[in-house]
Structure 1
Amino acid sequence: MHGTHLLLEEPIRMASILEPSKPNFFPAMTKIVGTLGPKSRSVQVISDCLNAGMSVGRFDFSWGDNEYHQQTLANLKSAIKTTKKLCAVMLDTVGPELQVVNKSEHSISLEAESFVVLTPDQDQEATSDLLPINFHGLSEAVKKGDTIFIGQYLFTGSETTSVWLEVSEVKGEDVVCVIKNSATLTGSLFTLHVAQIRIDLPTLTDKDKEVISTWGVRNNIDFLSLSYTRHAEDVRHARAFLSKLGDLQQTQILAKIENIEGLTHFDEILQEADGIILSRGNLGVDLPPEKVFLFQKAAIFKCNMACKPAVITRVVDSMTDNLRPTRAEATDVANAVLDGCDAILLGAETLRGQYPVETISIVGKICAEVSRPACHI
């Protein structure tokens, strides 16, 4: 062995890193789902999003009424005609989502170490001391010491726009909490998430059924994103409902895994669903941060083995307000694609972000770069 060189093949040619990125003849195999909303609903912006690489438009019914989303969809159809780019339509259900209701829409400032009461009395005004919620069973579901998170777009990780609370005591139907970090909540609705607690509400709510049977049928949706899927029965129930509607028998159901319950029943859910969405925002609350990647890798592998699409969310949060992703985010997207992820779902980044088109473009470039021949990985 003395004097001989052990030759190892480079997994990546270093020279290829210095080559400028080329527009691929074939687009990246990984699809990009863009959530359409306030910053991304004009014909021009949607056209730019399509040209940048968006191939599925997501309509999130957690906010906005049927008419609002119908106008956005009309703009999407106009953009499809002018760009000649195909784009599928995804309806995202609300599901058993707990929400804080802020009728006045005034900003609410919460101070660390102060107390705030969560009450099911929605007639009350939201203040720094009292937050009305849309659920009567919270006081029975939680106990002293439990953690509750509240945020407008569910925890970008910014300590100033989302807050975490610790349950101090339960008083009748009210839950008294200690505020653990100072934050300002803005808007009319905030998502509330209780770590590892079962919420006794149906996965497909009456509101969801109404939206699907009206807006969904009218627009012959391609995908139904089933929020908070917890059991295989949730998917079977949704499929039976779609079948009854007739027009939506071909609609594919993507089960959204958002909590411990869905994670526990993952294998049976995967058998029933047409694909899986890993909702890393909510999962990141239910799981310790160091466990999220383990579930992601295991889930993507299982989806690949079952030949069903795996979609991940919350990849470039920082691009909601910035023109470039962090290095960690860019690497995160690439690693997800290398693991076998089939689509990247952009939420706040395109819905309300300042740079929807640039976000889609950069995520698309990362996905394409992973597919280049230079990456012998």
Structure 2
Amino acid sequence: MHSNHLLLEEPIRMASILEPSKPSFFPAMTKIVGTLGPRSRSVDVISGCLKAGMSVARFDFSWGDGEYHQETLENLKNAVKNTKKLCAVMLDTVGAEMQVVNKTENAISLQQDDVVVLTPDEGQEASSQLLPINFAGLAKAVKTGDTIFVGQYLFTGSETTSVWLEVDKIEGVDVVCKIKNSATLAGALFTLHASQIHIDLPTLTDKDKENISTWGVRNKIDFLSLSYTRHAEDVREAREFLSKLGDLSQTQIFAKIENVEGLNHFDEILQEADGIILSRGNLGIDLPPEKVFLFQKAALYKCNMAGKPAVVTRVVDSMTDNLRPTRAEATDVANAVLDGSDAILLGAETLRGLYPVETISIVGKICAE
């Protein structure tokens, strides 16, 4: 006689949750890309990152010069020797990135409901009233009511360190904006992002070309992360440029999708690129927040079908300052892996975060589970 109640089939055995995490996991599943910077450029810390599971080191040329990154890379080579763990090198271009030029590096405090002017006159000094920017075409590209974000290291989502502006009026080449939240911008480099607006800057800038042909060639980079990829043509141009350099014929080009323009041309970009990086930080600004997960799922599915690696960014932001991720973040990493993500890219968490090694370790454990 069988019992009446239905036996529920468990997709995951509850008991397995209580088993201890595996101390060493097979490292070749979901890769971890770590960005090396001020907090993670010593041989010691890099060795810790490698042991914790980092298999690609990302060098972000949005800040720091070739010499700075070269020192970091020499340390990486030593760390690889010490730990006997291999690590690939990724050069991340600046691309069509609008930046606020803050020569004095003084902190700038902005008050809600005040007005601030964005001007292409880079000779001016940055202040609470005036932010000089590196793009002369902004006034032509935006209109009253448009949204512009300004923040450091691309908006961490913290509303006290990044500011949300609404275009009030255009005065010649200047853009007058209303400040929507009080914030303090600290540091040398702030990025500017205008939502869903075409920015007429080249995807591979002259500076990028110089960095690739000097630093990139000298170090035979494995990956080129092509920031602000918006069209398949961007990838083709980068590929032509690499093939002219001889030494970089083996370098793979990963197209970084960071705005709606890139999203609209996703299928063609996927055909041309060797892999895709979903830059959720920027996409989260260009798209309504509730749409980002749909893009992630659709894009990862397409990458999996095409057999090309897909990389997801901005997963454990809170670990920049904390030893543990939030539950939402930990779940998010797992879901990115279940969606078919081939690598997780850590930015601020390893670049300037307080716990680079712990971050890689925790993300690695989640991927292993």
Q: TM-score, normalised by structure 1?
A: 0.97
Residues 57-96 of structure 1 mapped to structure 2, 5 A cutoff: 57-96=57-96
* Distance of 1:142 and 1:231 partners within structure 2: 21
Match of 2:316 in 1: 316
Match of 1:44 in 2: 44
Coordinate RMSD, CA, aligned: 1.1
Residues 329-355 of structure 1 show CA distances to partners (whole Å, capped at 9, x for unaligned) of: 000000000111000000000000000
* Distance of 1:26 and 1:336 partners within structure 2: 18
Match of 1:213 in 2: 213
Match of 1:359 in 2: 359
* Distance of 2:4 and 2:160 partners within structure 1: 59
Match of 2:119 in 1: 119
Shift of 1:153: 1.1
3-state secondary structure, aligned to 1:54: coil
Match of 2:137 in 1: 137
* Distance of 1:35 and 1:138 partners within structure 2: 30
Moved over 6 A (4+): none
Match of 1:271 in 2: 271
Q: Is the 8 A contact 1:149 1:194 kept in 2?
A: yes
Match of 1:24 in 2: 24
* Distance of 1:3 and 1:47 partners within structure 2: 57
Shift of 1:6: 2.8
Please tell me the residue identity of whatever aligns with 2:244: K
* Distance of 2:65 and 2:25 partners within structure 1: 39
Shift of 1:8: 3.3
Please tell me the residue identity of whatever aligns with 2:223: F
**Structure 1: which 5+ residue stretches go unaligned?**
370-377
Please tell me the residue identity of whatever aligns with 1:280: R
* Distance of 1:8 and 1:179 partners within structure 2: 54
Please tell me the residue identity of whatever aligns with 2:338: L
Match of 1:167 in 2: 167
Please tell me the residue identity of whatever aligns with 1:282: N
Residues 292-319 of structure 1 show CA distances to partners (whole Å, capped at 9, x for unaligned) of: 0000000000000000000000000000
* Distance of 1:216 and 1:274 partners within structure 2: 18
Residues 312-351 of structure 1 mapped to structure 2, 5 A cutoff: 312-351=312-351
* Distance of 2:367 and 2:53 partners within structure 1: 11
Shift of 1:19: 1.6
* Distance of 1:23 and 1:29 partners within structure 2: 15
Q: Is the 8 A contact 2:167 2:176 kept in 1?
A: yes
Residues 254-291 of structure 1 show CA distances to partners (whole Å, capped at 9, x for unaligned) of: 00000001000000000000000000011001100110
3-state secondary structure, aligned to 2:128: coil
**Structure 2: which 5+ residue stretches go unaligned?**
none
* Distance of 1:187 and 1:6 partners within structure 2: 61
Shift of 1:7: 3.0
> Is 1:189 aligned to 2:189, yes or no?
yes
Q: Is the 8 A contact 1:28 1:364 kept in 2?
A: no
Residues 90-120 of structure 1 show CA distances to partners (whole Å, capped at 9, x for unaligned) of: 0000001000010000000000000000000
* Distance of 1:65 and 1:29 partners within structure 2: 33
Please tell me the residue identity of whatever aligns with 1:214: T
* Distance of 2:284 and 2:355 partners within structure 1: 25
Shift of 1:154: 1.0
Residues 184-233 of structure 1 show CA distances to partners (whole Å, capped at 9, x for unaligned) of: 00111100000000001111111100000000000000000000000001
Shift of 1:27: 2.3
Shift of 1:139: 0.3
Please tell me the residue identity of whatever aligns with 1:160: T
Shift of 1:17: 1.1
3-state secondary structure, aligned to 2:168: strand
* Distance of 2:20 and 2:104 partners within structure 1: 51
Please tell me the residue identity of whatever aligns with 1:367: C
* Distance of 2:144 and 2:192 partners within structure 1: 17
Q: Is the 8 A contact 1:24 1:368 kept in 2?
A: no
Q: TM-score, normalised by structure 2?
A: 0.99
Match of 1:229 in 2: 229
Moved more, 330-339 or 4-13: 4-13
Q: Is the 8 A contact 2:25 2:368 kept in 1?
A: no
3-state secondary structure, aligned to 2:55: strand
* Distance of 2:104 and 2:161 partners within structure 1: 18
Q: Is the 8 A contact 1:96 1:204 kept in 2?
A: yes
Shift of 1:28: 5.5
Question: How many aligned positions are there?
Answer: 369
* Distance of 1:272 and 1:147 partners within structure 2: 31
3-state secondary structure, aligned to 1:67: helix
Residues 167-198 of structure 1 show CA distances to partners (whole Å, capped at 9, x for unaligned) of: 00000000000000000001111000000000
* Distance of 2:252 and 2:9 partners within structure 1: 43
Q: Is the 8 A contact 1:28 1:367 kept in 2?
A: no
Match of 1:296 in 2: 296
Match of 1:374 in 2: none
Please tell me the residue identity of whatever aligns with 2:205: T
3-state secondary structure, aligned to 1:125: coil
Shift of 1:3: 5.4
